[in-house]
Amino acid sequence: MPTRADVAAMIDHTLLKPEATAADVAELVAEARELGCFAVCVSPSMLPVAAGGPVIATVAGFPSGKHHSLVKGAEARLAVEQGAAEVDMVIDVGAARAGDYNTVLADILTVREAIAGQALLKVIIESAALSDDAIVEVCRTAEQAGADFVKTSTGFHPAGGATVPAVRLMAETVGGRLGVKASGGIATAEQAAALIDAGATRLGLSRSRAVLDGFPE
């Protein structure tokens, strides 16, 4: 099993609740620093954030993905201008379910071009809402579009969050060329360890302390 420090270095400590306040974000950042988390992930409206250690990540087209691609791109570009180093964008899940991967490709490309290599791009695919074949095709499309990571879930979709089979399939598809972020519903060290074993290279967690407490020093 990986150590507590190893896992902390994989965590995006996340607060994306719509009711989050500036004080909540400040508390998130302080906790991320204390725990040694890699990044904090906050809503774009909460930027700029002075993190003093953790990387600043945010989201675009969140949580539905049903925003116009140009809106996602503008949101991502503004976030980068306000200090975000990583952007987690949500694809048009309906297009993926319909097999319209050209639309998915154009969507990701629009955001990729909007941030022009100034930030790392993670692509949220909502794996629980997709068939295995669609997961594979969307991961291939994300790679084709120049994404840096594929990510399981927003954590807001009723279909569910990260699962071991989805993460394993995503990791096998991208073959180490892209990172794999597991996110959504991860509440225990056992879950986190299983997802890491399946190929996750980053974890999106809102309950980071509870998860980390289950790993050895």
CATH code of 173's domain: 3.20.20.70
Examine residue 129 and state whether it is found in any structural domain, yes or no.
Answer: yes
| pLDDT at residue 156, rounded to an integer | 97
- Rounded Cα distance between 170 and 168, Å, is 5
Two tokens, residue 155: 């954590």
Examine residue 156 and state whether it is found in any structural domain, yes or no.
Answer: yes
- Rounded Cα distance between 35 and 51, Å, is 13
Q: Which domain holds residue 164?
A: 4-212
- Rounded Cα distance between 152 and 177, Å, is 16
- Rounded Cα distance between 217 and 4, Å, is 5
Examine residue 83 and state whether it is found in any structural domain, yes or no.
Answer: yes
Examine residue 184 and state whether it is found in any structural domain, yes or no.
Answer: yes
Examine residue 137 and state whether it is found in any structural domain, yes or no.
Answer: yes
Two tokens, residue 89: 């964008």
- Rounded Cα distance between 124 and 117, Å, is 18
- Rounded Cα distance between 89 and 103, Å, is 14
- Rounded Cα distance between 179 and 182, Å, is 10
The pLDDT of residue 175 is above 90 = yes
Examine residue 48 and state whether it is found in any structural domain, yes or no.
Answer: yes
The pLDDT of residue 59 is above 90 = yes
Examine residue 217 and state whether it is found in any structural domain, yes or no.
Answer: no
* Number of independent structural domains in the chain: 1
**Whose CA is closest to 47, among 71, 72, 25?**
25
**Residue 6: HSE in the Cβ half-sphere, 13 Å Cα cutoff:** 13
Two tokens, residue 64: 């539905």
| pLDDT at residue 1, rounded to an integer | 83
Which residues are catalytic, by number? 88, 151, 181
**Which percentage of the chain shows pLDDT scores above 90?**
98
- Give SS3 for 182: strand
pLDDT one-digit tens code per residue, 105-121: 999 999 999 999 899 99
**Residue 114: HSE in the Cβ half-sphere, 13 Å Cα cutoff:** 24
What end-to-end distance do the CA atoms of the chain give, in Å?
A: 11
Examine residue 177 and state whether it is found in any structural domain, yes or no.
Answer: yes
* Residue for token pair 């809102």: 206
